[in-house]
């Protein structure tokens, strides 16, 4: 397999896509066995540098069985050579077992109820399977979402800023809301959609911090998630990442609006976020780009923030995907063109410098590839076709069949070293990589990327 990968660069697109399908299926087969996956992740040295924990969560869409189920459902749809339904069921049993023993009060998309529900929804095949389980999940999560919204609204209405976890894609309202929108016809979860959208609209109302009027999604130092961030942002900051920043709410509000779901102030909120992001862009020789995080002090000093790694979680590609969706809401082709041009430049930058270590969706090659396929589907720009082939080639070359799950993710080590960890799940693990490989060659765009706020 490794020898095959060395020859990928000399092959045409058809070969690349076929090889991607081959690798995706091999990974899906390995993820079919929950015990094998669990044991592969829980080897002695496979621990995260910062926490010392294994990169695993049984019910985590990001790092566990729900993410694996999403890949298996994709293969059930296109391949009849294996009993994918049994593989899905084996993973589903592990989720049910965990919930029966421990439960969860987490509503989030990437580690809680919304993520579990997304996997069960995908596995249900439009109600053919697991319908009772999905209905039960909706009944469990709905009162938790209602309570969470009440608590979050109280924090928001203090007008002192908010933690990103209240509104972001990974942990907050944007990710939860995207799952709810996916199930807007369900009578249990549908009533939660408008209150959640109203919460995000209120998030965009300006507040005064140190006598300066700033957007309501400002995150003060006391709400920063790590000691390092508290030190880096002594007053506070504005997060521009799709994973943890304001692009998540922008994408959700715009997607809802584009699908005919609107609450008072929603259109203006889309305008406000879009205008703020456009005002926050920086310029270099490659064109426009967005900082990962903007310190409060930057609003006063206007010091230039340099271009950093370009990925889904943080950087220009994620921002521009949200801006492109908002351009549809605002019926503004100029914004769409700005987003497209900046997207192409940012992904080209990462392809040319060839320094992206991670193959993952979150901060690696798969995320760039998935966004490129979505942007191509939206624009049909031929420059993106070239980028897709480049990213596919790079991703295939990283495959190593001798490792337990086929890919490893890059983890920062001591003294600027890199450690390589085996990870399952969708966001940082092999399920997301394999799902991207599987879907890239398809003529039609599968909409599982809704979980990354791309559709």
For the chain, give the mean pLDDT.
Answer: 94
pLDDT grade, residue 6 (50/70/90)?
Answer: very low
Strand partners, 219: 237
Q: Which long-range contacts (CB under 8 A, 24 or more apart) does 409-413 make?
A: 409/55, 409/358, 409/359, 409/360, 409/364, 410/357, 410/358, 410/364, 411/48, 411/49, 412/49, 413/49
Q: Is 4's pLDDT higher than 70?
A: no
Q: Is 44's pLDDT higher than 70?
A: yes
pLDDT grade, residue 9 (50/70/90)?
Answer: low
Residue 414: what pLDDT?
78
Render pLDDT for 379-403 as a digit per residue (tens, 0 to 9): 999 999 999 999 999 999 999 999 9
Q: Does the pTM of the predicted model rise above 0.85?
A: yes
Cα separation, 256 vs 198, in Å, equals 12
Render pLDDT for 182-203 as a digit per residue (tens, 0 to 9): 999 999 999 999 999 999 999 9
Residue 50: what pLDDT?
85
Q: Is 2's pLDDT higher than 70?
A: no
pLDDT grade, residue 366 (50/70/90)?
Answer: very high
Residue position matching structure tokens 């897709």? 388
Structure tokens at 363: 């901060």
Q: Which residue, among 118, 109, 218, has the nearest Cα to 172 in the 3D structure?
A: 109
pLDDT grade, residue 231 (50/70/90)?
Answer: confident
Residue 313: what pLDDT?
98
Q: What's the mean pLDDT in 152-161? A: 97
pLDDT grade, residue 11 (50/70/90)?
Answer: low
Q: Which residues contact 285 (CB under 8 A, 6 or more apart)?
A: none
Render pLDDT for 75-110 as a digit per residue (tens, 0 to 9): 999 999 999 999 999 999 999 999 999 999 999 999
Q: What's the mean pLDDT in 339-356? A: 94
Render pLDDT for 278-287 as a digit per residue (tens, 0 to 9): 999 999 999 9
To 10 degrees, the CA torsion angle through 266, 267, 272, 278? 130
Strand partners, 283: 288
Percent of the chain topping pLDDT 70: 97
Tell me the three state secondary structure of residue 92.
Answer: helix
CA distances from 364 to 24, 245, 317, 351 (A): 17, 18, 12, 11
Cα separation, 302 vs 109, in Å, equals 35
Cα separation, 236 vs 196, in Å, equals 25
Q: What's the mean pLDDT in 357-381? A: 96
Cα separation, 47 vs 318, in Å, equals 28
Cβ–Cβ under 8 Å, residues 325 and 255:
yes
Cα separation, 362 vs 72, in Å, equals 20
Largest CA distance in the chain: 65
Cβ–Cβ under 8 Å, residues 430 and 405:
yes
Percent of the chain topping pLDDT 90: 87
Higher pLDDT, 436 or 411: 436
Q: What's the mean pLDDT in 362-391? A: 96
Cα separation, 340 vs 327, in Å, equals 11
Render pLDDT for 120-129 as a digit per residue (tens, 0 to 9): 999 999 889 9
Render pLDDT for 259-285 as a digit per residue (tens, 0 to 9): 999 999 999 999 999 999 999 999 999
Cβ–Cβ under 8 Å, residues 161 and 207:
yes
Residue 229: what pLDDT?
86
């Amino acid at each position: 397999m490794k020898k095959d990968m060395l020859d990928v660069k000399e092959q045409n697109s058809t070969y690349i896509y076929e090889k991607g399908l081959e690798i995706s299926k091999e990974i899906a087969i390995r993820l079919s066995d929950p015990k094998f996956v669990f044991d592969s992740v829980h080897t002695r040295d496979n621990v995260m540098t910062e926490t010392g924990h294994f990169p695993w969560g049984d019910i985590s869409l990001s790092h566990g069985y729900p993410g694996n189920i999403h890949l298996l459902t994709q293969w059930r749809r296109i391949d009849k050579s294996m009993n994918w339904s049994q593989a899905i069921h084996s993973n589903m049993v592990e989720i049910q077992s965990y919930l029966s023993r421990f439960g969860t009060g987490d509503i989030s998309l990437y580690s809680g109820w919304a993520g579990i529900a997304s996997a069960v929804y995908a596995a249900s095949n439009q109600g053919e399977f697991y319908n009772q389980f999905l209905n039960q999940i909706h009944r469990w999560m709905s009162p938790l979402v209602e309570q969470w919204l009440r608590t979050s609204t109280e924090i928001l209405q203090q007008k002192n800023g908010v933690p990103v976890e209240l509104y972001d894609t990974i942990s907050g309202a944007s990710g939860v809301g995207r799952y709810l929108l996916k199930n807007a016809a369900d009578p249990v979860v549908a009533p939660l959609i408008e209150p959640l959208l109203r919460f995000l609209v209120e998030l965009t109302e300006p507040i005064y911090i140190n006598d300066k009027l700033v957007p309501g999604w400002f995150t003060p130092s006391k709400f920063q998630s790590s000691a390092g961030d508290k030190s880096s942002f002594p007053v506070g900051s504005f997060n521009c990442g799709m994973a943890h920043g304001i692009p998540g709410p922008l994408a959700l509000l715009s997607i809802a609006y584009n699908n005919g779901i609107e609450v008072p102030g929603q259109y203006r909120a889309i305008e406000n976020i879009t205008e703020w992001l456009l005002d926050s862009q920086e310029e270099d020789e490659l064109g426009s780009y967005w900082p990962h995080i903007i310190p409060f002090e930057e609003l006063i000093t206007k010091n230039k923030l340099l271009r950093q790694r370009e990925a889904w979680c943080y950087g220009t590609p994620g921002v521009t995907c949200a801006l492109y969706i908002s351009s549809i809401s605002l019926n503004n082709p100029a914004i769409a063109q700005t987003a497209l041009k900046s997207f192409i430049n940012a992904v080209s930058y990462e392809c040319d410098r060839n320094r992206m270590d991670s193959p993952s969706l979150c901060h690696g090659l798969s995320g760039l590839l998935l966004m490129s396929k979505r942007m191509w589907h939206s624009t049909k720009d031929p420059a993106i076709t070239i980028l897709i082939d480049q990213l596919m080639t790079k991703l295939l070359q990283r495959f190593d069949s001798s490792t337990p799950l086929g890919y490893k993710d890059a983890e920062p080590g001591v003294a600027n070293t890199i450690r390589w960890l085996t990870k399952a799940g969708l966001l940082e693990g092999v399920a997301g990589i394999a799902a991207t490989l599987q879907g890239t060659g398809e003529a039609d765009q599968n909409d599982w990327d809704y979980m990354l706020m791309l559709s």
